[in-house]
Amino acid sequence: MKQYLVTAEEMKRYDANTMEKFHLPGLLLMERAALVTVEEIVHRCVNRPCRVLVLAGYGNNGGDGLAVGRLLMLQGYQVTFVMPGEDVYSRCTEETRRQTDILHAYQTRIFSRMPEGEYDIVIDAVFGVGLSRPVEGIWQDAIQWINQSGSFVCSVDIPSGIHADTGAVMGCAVHADLTVTYGFRKMGHMLYPGAAYVGELVCRRMGIDEHSFLGREPGWYTYIGREYGLLPARRADGNKGTFGKALIIAGSRNIAGAAMMAAKSTFRTGAGMVKVVTAVENRETVQQFVPEAMLLTYREDMTAEEEAMFLASLREAAEWADCVLIGPGIGTGEKAAGMLRFMIRESDLPMVIDADGLNLLAMDTELQEDMAGRNAQERTVILTPHLGEFARLCGCTAAQARERLTEYPRQLSDRLHCIVVCKDARTVVVKHGERQGYLNTNGNCGMATAGSGDVLAGMITGLLAQGMNGMEAAVAGVYLHGYAGNLAAERETEWGMTATDLIGCIKDAVCQVQDRNRRSGMEEAV
C-alpha cells in the first residue's frame, strides 16, 4: 500500500502542526510513542522480564527512550537508565526534562556513565531525526558499546547515527534489530546505507497522521507490500491494437540479448504488438526468443539507397507505433546516433530512452537541448539510467549521484523536461514540474544482473503502449519489476537469478497485483 516517506524537516513540521492545530501536547505524543514501542518490544520478548538498558540523549528522542524504559520497568523489567555526560538536566529539551522528573518521582536513578554488566535488551534513544553532524566523543563510544553488546537492540524512531534524509552514516551508527518509528517512515530508513542499519522496521501511529499535513504532503512516497490497481484495465472486447503497439529500437550487430529481453518484457506487461528494429545479424535469434514480434532490420554497411529505404521504413514504423523504446544494446556508433536523433527531433511518440541511448544523449548537448525544448511542449520522455549512465548525463561521479539520489534526478528532470528513473538499490522516479517523487523499496540484490535494466525498460514501454501516462507507467513498471524480482529470488535465489528469470516472473507478479480487481469483478458478475 502507498506510504509516505518524510524528511526530518517535514516530520518536525507535522509534529508542530499536530500540537498547534490539533492541540495535542508534546508530552502526550511522547507517551503514546512510548506505549507503541513497548508493545513491539514485549511482543518480541514474551518469555520473561529481562534486563534492559536505556541509553538516552538530551533531545526528544531521549525523552521517548526514557518513557519506554519507565513503562517496561512498570511491567517488571529490570531497567537501567543512562544519559552520558555532565550537567545533563540543563541540556535536555523540556519534554525530556519532564521524563527525567517522572523517573525521579519513581525514585529511579539515571546514570551518567555506562555501567558494568550485561543486558538482554538495549533501547537506543541517543539521536533522533534531527542529527546533522558526525557522531563523536562520548556518543561515539556509546554507539560502539551498543554494537558490541550482543544485546537485542531496539532503536527509537531511527538508529542513532543515521541521517534521516539521506540514510548516510554520520561517522558511526547503531545496528538495530528493531526500529520503531512514528507517524511515517523516514527517507533515511529506506535509503542505503541506512536501510541496512534499521533491522526490522515497524511504523506505528501515535497521534500524527495525514491530517497533520495541513495541505502540504511529503515530497516522497513508496509502496509497501502488494499494491493493487497500478496496472491499466483490460477491455473485454479489446484486440491486439487496443492494447498498444510498441516500437523497440534495440540491439546491434551480434548483440541481440537486449532486444530480446526488452521485447519479451513489453509483451509480458500487456502490449498487444511489438516491432523490433535491430541489426540484420540478430534476426534469427530475436525471432526464436520472441516469435510474436515483428522485425525491421538494417545493416551497418548499407548503401545510400538502402539507408534511405531504411529511414523511410523507420518513419513508417514510428507512425504505426503508440510509443518507442530506444537504446538497449544499440551501441554508440553513427547508426545508433542517427536513429536517436530521428526519434528525438522528428517523432512525437512517448519515448523511453535506456542504456546506449542515454550514453549517446550524454555526448550530445545540442540534442539534449532539442529534446528539452520538445519535451516542454508536454511530450513524454522517460530516461532510465543506472548510476553510471546518470553520472554521465549529469556531469558528476557515480558516488556523488548515489549520495544525492533524491536531489540530482530532480535537477536532471527539470533541465530536460522529462521523467527520470534513476536505478540503484533504491530506484527513484521523478517528473519535471511535480513535487512528489516515488522511491522504490521492493526488489533485491539478485536483480543486479546483466539484462535487468533491459527488462525494466521493456516493462515501462509495455505500460506506455497501453495508454498510461508517463509517470504512472514509470512508477508501475519499477514497482512491478521489483515485485517480479522478489518472486524470482524466491525461486532461483538472489545468487542464481538472471534477467530471463525476471521475465518469467512478470506474469505471476501481474496476477498477484491484479487478484483483488479480478475477484471483485467476478463477485459483481455473480
Q: Retrieve residue 108's grid coordinates.
A: 529511579
pLDDT at 525: 32
pLDDT at 49: 67
Shared domain check, 359 and 469: yes
pLDDT at 374: 86
Shared domain check, 250 and 216: no
How many of the other CB atoms lie within 10 Å of CB of 509?
Answer: 25
Shared domain check, 83 and 199: yes
Last residue of a domain, one of 168, 189, 223: 223
pLDDT at 67: 98
Shared domain check, 249 and 116: no
pLDDT in tens, 342-399: 999 999 999 999 999 999 999 999 999 999 998 877 899 999 999 999 999 999 999 9
Q: Across residues 332-339, what is the average pLDDT?
A: 96
| Exposure on the CB side of residue 23, measured as CA atoms within 13 A | 0
d(CA 242, CA 160): 53
Q: Looking at residue 276, which CATH number applies to its domain? A: 3.40.1190.20
Q: How confident is the model at residue 521 (pLDDT cuts 50, 70, 90)?
A: very low
pLDDT in tens, 262-303: 999 999 999 999 999 999 999 999 999 999 999 999 998 999
Shared domain check, 157 and 39: yes
pLDDT at 524: 33
pLDDT in tens, 124-140: 999 999 999 999 999 99
Shared domain check, 304 and 195: no
100 within domain boundaries: yes
| Exposure on the CB side of residue 267, measured as CA atoms within 13 A | 17
pLDDT at 64: 98
d(CA 468, CA 162): 38
* pLDDT tops 60 at residue 475: yes
Shared domain check, 135 and 62: yes
d(CA 284, CA 282): 6
pLDDT at 520: 40
Shared domain check, 194 and 298: no
Shared domain check, 194 and 71: yes
Q: How confident is the model at residue 523 (pLDDT cuts 50, 70, 90)?
A: very low
pTM: 0.94
pLDDT at 526: 30
Shared domain check, 279 and 171: no
438 within domain boundaries: no
Q: Which domain holds residue 299?
A: 245-404+448-522
340 within domain boundaries: yes
Least-confidence region, from 45-49, 179-183, 334-338: 45-49
Nearest to 124 by CA among 44, 62, 170, 172: 62
What share of the chain has pLDDT > 90, as a percent? 90
pLDDT at 376: 75
209 within domain boundaries: yes
Q: How many structural domains does the chain have?
A: 2
- Separation of CA 175 from chain center: 21
Cβ distance 356 to 340 under 8 Å? Answer: no
Shared domain check, 256 and 216: no
pLDDT at 381: 97
- Helix (H) or strand (E) run with residue 341 in it: helix 334-346
pLDDT in tens, 148-200: 999 999 999 999 999 999 999 999 999 999 999 999 999 999 999 999 999 99
* pLDDT tops 50 at residue 57: yes
427 within domain boundaries: no
Q: What is the mean pLDDT of the chain?
A: 94
pLDDT in tens, 58-79: 999 999 999 999 999 999 999 9
161 within domain boundaries: yes
422 within domain boundaries: no
172 within domain boundaries: yes
